[in-house]
Structure 1
């Protein structure tokens, strides 16, 4: 789910991000970081930012589902190989086809066009996410680069990727949990899903 854990004084709503926001300390009834990640199911994606932003979705074979994300994975209409992701992500219609190492389509009226390569133990995606130039890497040690309008410098720490994210404002701390089930997705579908959840 996507929600605010703490009240803030300034809030900049983007497709996925909250701009450099400032506010008081979390209230006594706000869940702690440990409670949030401890309650995560085996297929759950979580992004928790120091600004109080929380994004969550269940990722399973054939679907990505959360309060703000409802995507299905289908065979392409043309009968070609690959996968098509269709649905809604953060109030934007999604229709993206992932074939081989490429993904192309439309997200909320803006293009998504990615070329994905395998590098060492991970993948690298380059192209457009939400119409913005993107170049990002994911491997067992790091999640780094520019995804849509946000840049990430995250290092693996146990189950999580932790570090700094900037979405046009001052960098702030984020923690990202990626479910293991994503490793069974094709490279292009995985890169597309990351682009939608982290940078659209």
Structure 2
């Protein structure tokens, strides 16, 4: 990864603890170092999740996922690997995705609206309903709720994962736009909903 040194490199569901030390990289340094295919989630509390999104895979300290042609006989794509220490096996076909994440179900119905994507269902056993378009990332993903507005290259706003809302910034790489709607919704669910 290009983002070293990082004081707090934790999974989405973990708390970061004390505020980052004075010598930890600043927000501008982190986002300035991001490559064109990099996913980044950074909270005001210092939590950082990063991954490189490449054709057919997502690789980071907490995520190793591959996107393969599905062997289900119905076409589509299979998303398999490890995300935040949990095994992932999901099939994304047409406008939906079904499978298992860490022994919990993932089942999404995905529709393309005029301006973006809408996913509804269950992520890691939690009811989810979220939207992504060129202006906003909003809704409930797994155990976290998001109310983010696009500002330049980033989505910024509030995120709550069962506690007080915190300011968060998310950078989504352009490479995700070439994925199928169902595979994209699945990947967002895994990266943002833990």
The answer to whether the Cα contact below 8 Å between 1:124 and 1:135 also exists between their aligned partners in 2 is: yes
Deviation at 1:16, TM superposition (A): 1.9
Q: Distance in 1 between matches of 2:27 and 2:21?
A: 13
Deviation at 1:28, TM superposition (A): 2.5
Report what 1:73 is aligned to: 67
Of the three residues 1, 9, 13, the one matched with 1:17 is 13
Report what 1:159 is aligned to: 153
Aligned positions of 1:76-87 closer than 5 A: 76-87=70-81
**TM-score, structure 2 normalization:** 0.93
Whether 1:185 and 2:179 are equivalent positions in the alignment is yes
Whether 1:128 and 2:102 are equivalent positions in the alignment is no
Deviation at 1:77, TM superposition (A): 1.8
Report what 1:9 is aligned to: none
After the TM superposition, which of the residue ranges 70-79 and 155-164 deviates more from structure 2?
Answer: 70-79
Count of paired positions: 191
Deviations 1:65-106 (A, max 9, x none): 011110111111233210000000010000000000100000
Q: Distance in 2 between matches of 1:184 and 1:96?
A: 18
Whether 1:101 and 2:95 are equivalent positions in the alignment is yes
Report what 1:5 is aligned to: 7
Gaps of at least 5 residues in structure 2 are none
SS at match of 2:176: helix
Deviation at 1:4, TM superposition (A): 6.6
Q: Distance in 1 between matches of 2:88 and 2:169?
A: 25
**TM-score, structure 1 normalization:** 0.90
SS at match of 2:74: coil
Q: Distance in 2 between matches of 1:4 and 1:31?
A: 7
User: After the TM superposition, which segments of 4 or more aligned residues of structure 1 sit over 4 Å from their partners?
Assistant: 1-4
CA RMSD of aligned residues (A): 1.8
